[in-house]
Structure 1
Amino acid sequence: MTELLKSSNLLVPKLYLLTNDDKLPVLLAKLEMALATGVVHLLQIRRKQVLATDNGAAKLYQEALQIVALAKRYKVAVVINDDMALAEQLGVGVHLGQSDGSIEAARQRLGCQQVIGRTCHDDVDLVVKAKSAGASYAAMGAIFSSTTKPNAQPIERSKLIAGCKQDIDICVIGGLTAENITGLQGLPIRYVAVVGDIMDLSVDKIAHRCQQWQQALNTWSTASSK
């Protein structure tokens, strides 16, 4: 761990917010509160329940138009979960699971400026492949079990450290809170992906929780100098 810290130019990780399955008016209200704090740097549109309904793809497109417009007001980059065709339609980035198409194809369709992420679980070899293919970041986890994926097995710390050594931005995901994130302090992580710890709250509590996240993340450089 000490060697990793000494060899890395540590920056404060960025908060990466993922949508949940709230009804759209509630979701938009929550996103407005979160984005207005200036803490969120990347937003992923992931609406599994909407997609599962009749005409789900068309509904998701209409929802995504509104979400992307909101994000643009606050200059927050957006990625679509799994669907590079929808990402291309909207002019945004994409996050791809291992079975959701190639990074090379996404890069060709979306261009060099868009964010393209790849799920790599706890597999360092997948991180290496994501880097080689031109991904913007590799997502590793689950760090803890979560409400969205309660059966996910937590990643071994040694594998996370190994992933952080592969010279690609690392995103951590899975059961993260503003309190337990302190257990990762000092690792050169680019994005901290959060769903439930923010989006499961009521609208009036969202801004305060985002501020608590900023306070937690701001301790990163302090931790690395100890």
Structure 2
Amino acid sequence: MFATYFNCLAVILGSLLGLLLRDRIKPAYQEVVFASAGLVTLVIGVSMALKTGSYLILLFSVVLGGFVGYALHIEEGLLALGAFAQKRLGKKDGNNEQKASNFALGFLNASILFCSGAMSVVGSIQAGTTGDYQLIMVKSVMDGCMAIILSAAYGPGVIASALFVLVYQGFFTLTGSFISPILGEGGINELSAVGGILLLMIGFGLLDIKKFKTGNFCRQ
């Protein structure tokens, strides 16, 4: 679990640095932050989605996951959780509702970004079965850098995504010897491809092109 703990620490440190920079970024330059994060997220999403071995499977996974997610109202639940966390942890003011929404969006988008790639699954399985931490260490550095950008855009909700990283990657680390033969290389690629679609949704939202309820698609 050492590699997963290191990944969480990288996310937390990156988020804290982003929050410090956020206070120094003039409102006029915030568009630059969102545009940069959105474009990079789109590039990552496209590269991941193209790894699919079957576009029919990819389409079926996204549609089925979306149906289930909308039926369970996952996105609304996350936004409600963000509002609750903001009320408990933040100061009460006129912008509290907007802050709660940003908290939830930061947590949601960062969690998807940090856990949607094949590196999360493969790296965690390698760490748990062979003790090879190299892939997760590389991913940790990448996540830390993206956490700076996302927290500068969304705020402290990105820090909370470290908990999701801990649970998600910890699961594959502890159960890697059982999960790896079931998924296989093809299964991991398809999992990564679906994650790429989710990142495209996030990217479009950051660029203010189209707002998707990305959380509702996280049941694939």
Q: Tell me, yes or no, whether TM beats 0.5.
A: no
TM-score (norm 1): 0.25
TM-score (norm 2): 0.25
- The structure with more helix, counted as a fraction of residues: 2
The higher-RCO structure (CA 8 Å, 6+ apart) is: 2
- The structure with more strand, counted as a fraction of residues: 1
